[in-house]
Structure 1
């Protein structure tokens, strides 16, 4: 993740936005990498018949 942020800084980007499916522990991983949750779409991802997960959007400011 640090390499991605470094490359984005080299390209003079303002930040990195990413999304992930909840329920896998990825939220804690991205937060540990410096990303902040900026939005959530409840039940946006269907994982099985009648089973849905939230989609969370994260932002990492680079400036």
Structure 2
């Protein structure tokens, strides 16, 4: 049930709850990594905005 006592041992968690918990943790980890990489990309582009390769990248993306 959802109202089981607190535990530090993963083996004592009900198996029906263990799998969704792992999926939720993995999902949040992937979301955090994706957002971190997107932020890093934007910071690099912001710092390098006067470079020719950034202008080329913007022009290339504008033609999609």
Higher Cα Rg, which structure: 2
Specify which structure has the higher proportion of helix.
2
Q: TM-score, normalised by structure 2?
A: 0.20
Q: TM-score, normalised by structure 1?
A: 0.20
Specify which structure has the higher proportion of strand.
1
Higher relative contact order (CA 8 A, sep 6+): 1
